[in-house]
Chains A and B, each alone.
Chain A
Amino acid sequence: MTIDGFVALYIFMLAAFAGWVIIGRVPAILHTPLMSGSNFVHGIVVIGGLYALLNASTGLEQGIGFVAVLLGAGNAAGGYAVTDRMLAMFQSSSHQPVHATHKSGAHRRKPTSPKKG
């Protein structure tokens, strides 16, 4: 498949538009995971690095290709790890009872809980 100038421009234009629309939908509360998530998405550069490294024919090319894959893999894996970790933290109130009893045993909260009003 060959992608020539104008086809490339079409792809770029549509992708840019999609990015703008998709990210515009994300609520501000998720902006940090969004940033690390989009950071993860450009980690796809690792497959470009793999292509280049597998086609390397000199020591210099092998060296640079190795760096490209190393950095790209770091970008992708790290971006995924932090995004996944952060998103798992967002709980709603309806999940909370399970979460709270599971975590902070009853012994500490007892004194105040019977008292209401």
Chain B
Amino acid sequence: MLTMLPPLLIDIVGIVAAFLLMFGLWRMSSPVTAPAGIKVAGIGMVAAVAASFLYVFNISPAAHPHLPVNLALAGIALAVGGGLAWWGGRKVAMTAMPQMVALYNGMGGGAAGAIAAMELFGNHARGVTQLGVTLLGAIIGAVSLSGSLIAWAKLQGVLNKPLRIKGQQVINGLVMLATLAVGFYILFIVQSGTVPVLSLQALICLFFGCAMLFGILMTLPIGGADMPVVISIYNAFTGLAVGLEGFVLQTPALMIAGMLVGAAGILLTLLMAKAMNRSVSNVLFTNFGDVVKQKQGAIKGSLKPTAAGDAGIAMRYASSVIIVPGYGLAAAQGQQKLYEFVKLLIAAGVKVRFAVHPVAGRMPGQMDVLLAEAGVPYDLIFQLEDINDDFATTDIVLVIGANDVVNPSARSDKSSPIFGMPILNADKAKQVYVVKRGEGKGYAGIVNPLFYADNCNMVYRDAQAVMAEMIEAVRGLGLSAAA
């Protein structure tokens, strides 16, 4: 009786936790309900972790003498791992969010890999299916761990250049084959009981080594602009690995939560790739930076610089303004000043809206978070499909630190590398101001004909300085009129 109760409790809490996690994500369908949703999911997680200590009542006889040590280790691991990550998550700047998510994601993949390693070293798996699933989960988890760490290093600026070597695809393929071969060999040895060439321990280490090497090699050649897709893929990978290890451990909560995230991550990856007009395999297996060679000269018009103050005053007297923020705004930390300026415009009766492109920022939706952080209410923020038709009837569009997402050659120029990518139709407005740090090209190095168009003026400065000047100019206007 006493041994029956704890597993039953664990099962009940597990199913409740799985429900709460799903319900929490379900509540994310609106910014209104989302904050409460994540709290619900958090309660589910805490309950599941607390209930898992009930495992002590049904542990294997071999582990009994080690129970006090194991409990202490579990407590320390939870406190240290959870505490450090919590502290990091509270501290991290919103601009650094992509690398933080990559890091947490790598941790999840590592945890799934470690669980698989324990199953393999302890030879716990029963039957071919379980062993096979363990190995598969191990590969995915290990790739996710090392790949996420490389993604983190790239986003953090530790690794700056995409590393590309000749025959990369072949090498990656061989490493993957080697991983699979070692995996099958382990499967064969354990099932048939034959004496292996190397010890089983060495084989398992080799297996994990190969899988992690593959994760590194696969991520190294991918350029910074494609990192959103990569993070999304590894998020899905970790989910899959967790789900598979959940099957091995016979824990339905892990299976449900893991597979849920796996499917969600794949959907998000596809959405991201679509917004960038690339296929997922194109991101993973071709080197984006290489194809960008465009002949110039087809562009008509000239770059027409203007003063920040003049642009600010023009917007003050416009009736409608759409602002297109890009990563350059965040890099200059100009969001606060921008919103201060927007508040001035709104106070003066100007209709101001923000238009956010799906790939603005270093991960999907990052620009929305950065604007929200500056205090911009979410009802002023519009997504591409909701606002794109309104550009033609808008007086002024202010493009800040964005380039490729407003490049009209994506619509018209078949030779352009971004041809077909959905863009914000900023060029259709009556007047466009582009705030840019200098005359250089964008992140992807593609010439933007919008900048040369008749209805476009350039403001060359750091975004924060430009916003300060615009605020000054509009305020000065109010003062002189009042005097």
Q: Contact check: which of B7, B31, B111, B247 meets A45 at CB < 8 Å?
A: B111
Which chain B positions have C-beta within 8 A of A67?
Answer: 77, 110-111, 114
Which chain B positions have C-beta within 8 A of A22?
Answer: 22, 25-26, 260, 264
Task: Report Cα–Cα, A40/B104, bound state, in Å.
Answer: 8
Which chain A positions have C-beta within 8 A of B53?
Answer: 50, 54
Which chain B positions have C-beta within 8 A of A3?
Answer: 247, 250, 252, 255
Count residues on chain A whose CB falls below 8 Å from chain B CBs.
96
B263/A16 in contact, CB under 8 A: yes
Which chain B positions have C-beta within 8 A of A39?
Answer: 101, 104-105, 108, 235, 238, 261
Q: Flag whether A107 is at the interface (Cβ < 8 A).
A: no
Task: Report Cα–Cα, A65/B250, bound state, in Å.
Answer: 17
A12/B25 in contact, CB under 8 A: no
A81/B49 in contact, CB under 8 A: no
Contact with B along A40-61 (1 / 0, CB 8 A): 1111111111111111111011
Task: Report Cα–Cα, A80/B24, bound state, in Å.
Answer: 11
Q: Pick from A5, A74, A85, A100 the residue with the most CB of B within 10 Å.
A: A74
Count residues on chain B whose CB falls below 8 Å from chain A CBs.
131
Q: Flag whether B161 is at the interface (Cβ < 8 A).
A: no
Which chain A positions have C-beta within 8 A of B258?
Answer: 15, 42, 44-45
Task: Report Cα–Cα, A27/B84, bound state, in Å.
Answer: 31
A42/B118 in contact, CB under 8 A: no
Q: Contact check: which of B34, B51, B261 meets A30 at CB < 8 Å?
A: B34
The answer to whether A53 and B74 touch (CB under 8 A), given A28-B364, A74-B81, is yes
Task: Report Cα–Cα, A30/B92, bound state, in Å.
Answer: 18
Which chain B positions have C-beta within 8 A of A106?
Answer: none
* In the complex, residue of chain B having the shortest beta-carbon distance to the beta carbon of A36: B101
Q: Flag whether B199 is at the interface (Cβ < 8 A).
A: no
Which chain A positions have C-beta within 8 A of B383?
Answer: 27-29
Binds A, one of B344-352, B396-404, B436-444: B344-352
The answer to whether A45 and B250 touch (CB under 8 A), given A26-B29, A81-B85, is no
Which chain B positions have C-beta within 8 A of A101?
Answer: none
A31/B377 in contact, CB under 8 A: no
* In the complex, residue of chain B having the shortest beta-carbon distance to the beta carbon of A79: B104
Q: Pick from A44, A65, A81 the residue with the most CB of B within 10 Å.
A: A44
Binds A, one of B219-227, B284-292, B366-374: B366-374
Minimum C-beta distance from B152 to chain A (A): 12
Minimum C-beta distance from A28 to chain B (A): 5
Q: Flag whether B455 is at the interface (Cβ < 8 A).
A: no
The answer to whether A81 and B89 touch (CB under 8 A), given A35-B232, A70-B81, is yes
Q: Flag whether B129 is at the interface (Cβ < 8 A).
A: yes
Q: Which of B112-153 contact A (CB under 8 A)?
A: 112, 114-115, 117-119, 121-122, 129
Task: Report Cα–Cα, A49/B113, bound state, in Å.
Answer: 10
A44/B48 in contact, CB under 8 A: yes
A20/B28 in contact, CB under 8 A: no
Q: Flag whether B90 is at the interface (Cβ < 8 A).
A: yes
In order of increasing CB-CB distance, the 7 nearest A-B pairs are A81-B89, A31-B365, A78-B85, A19-B263, A68-B114, A73-B81, A69-B77
The interface of chain B, by Cβ under 8 A from chain A, is 7, 11, 17, 21-22, 24-26, 28-32, 34-35, 38-39, 41-42, 45, 48-49, 51-53, 55-56, 59-60, 62-63, 66-67, 69-71, 73-74, 76-78, 80-86, 88-90, 92, 94, 97, 100-101, 103-105, 107-108, 110-112, 114-115, 117-119, 121-122, 129, 231-232, 235, 238-239, 242-243, 245-247, 249-265, 267-268, 271, 343-344, 347-349, 356, 358, 361, 363-366, 368-369, 372-373, 375, 377-381, 383, 474-475, 478-479, 481-482
The interface of chain A, by Cβ under 8 A from chain B, is 1-3, 5, 8, 11-12, 15-20, 22-58, 60-62, 64-93, 95-96, 99-100, 103, 109, 111-117
7 A-B pairs (CB sep. < 8 Å) = A16-B262, A31-B358, A35-B101, A35-B268, A53-B74, A67-B77, A81-B90
